[in-house]
């Protein structure tokens, strides 16, 4: 902290301000974003550090944030976080605002279409989002036509909206059981 300007904080090494350093620096158990040696409290972005990607808001890693978060610099990109860190090892479904989305290696995949196995249930995903097959027989038929293995095995495609487990059977949708 600069005694002459208490709102200014600097990254020091061996008692010297490191004005050539830009990146994350730890202070008192928290991580902060430093630009040219000075704390940047206006930084709101995803930042790489030691091969991990972190969400920085107001100049610090937002370790209280988990779930899907939109990239402030690239609004079309959404990342899946746990404690402020992108979960690059995670592939599966993630909930955001009551809807479910497909994530691959920590990134929302808005172009994904397919069947996703999540918690021992199958979900059909189009454009990266779970679709409600129970209200659209066409989508149900499309899902089973595109994924005949699941149809042949009579596996379930789960409708999360109504919390009912359904399977598709041409020409109509048949209720199997309540969860």
The series of mean pLDDT values per 10 residues for the chain, 179 residues long, is: 74 90 94 94 95 96 97 95 97 92 96 83 83 55 54 43 38 34
Amino acid 177: pLDDT: 38
Amino acid 152: pLDDT: 44
Q: How many CB atoms lie within 10 A of CB 63?
A: 16
Question: What is the pTM assigned to this prediction?
Answer: 0.73
Amino acid 113: pLDDT: 85
pLDDT in tens, 121-159: 777 788 899 875 544 555 555 655 555 444 444 444 444
Amino acid 49: pLDDT: 95
CA distance 135 to 76: 28
Q: What is the largest CA-CA distance in the chain?
A: 77
Within its chain, how far is the Cα of 19 from the centroid? 34
Helix or strand holding residue 138 (H, E): helix 137-146
Return the CA Rg of the chain: 23
CB-based contact 143:155 (threshold 8 Å): no
Amino acid 172: pLDDT: 34
């Amino acid at each position: 902290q600069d005694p002459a300007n208490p709102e200014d904080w600097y990254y020091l090494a061996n008692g010297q301000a490191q004005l050539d350093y830009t990146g994350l620096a730890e202070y008192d158990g928290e991580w902060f974003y430093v630009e040219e040696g000075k704390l940047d409290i206006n930084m709101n972005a995803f930042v790489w550090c030691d091969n991990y990607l972190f969400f920085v808001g107001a100049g610090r890693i937002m370790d209280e944030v988990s779930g899907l978060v939109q990239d402030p610099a690239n609004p079309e990109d959404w990342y899946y976080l746990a404690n402020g860190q992108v979960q690059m090892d995670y592939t599966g479904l993630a909930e955001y605002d009551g809807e479910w989305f497909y994530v691959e290696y920590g990134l929302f995949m808005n172009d994904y279409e397919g069947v996703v196995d999540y918690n021992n249930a199958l979900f059909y995903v189009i454009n990266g989002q779970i679709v409600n097959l129970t209200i659209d027989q066409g989508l149900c038929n499309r899902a089973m036509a595109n994924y005949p293995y699941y149809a042949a095995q009579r596996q379930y495609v789960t409708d999360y909206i109504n919390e009912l487990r359904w399977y598709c059977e041409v020409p109509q949708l048949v209720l199997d059981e309540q969860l």
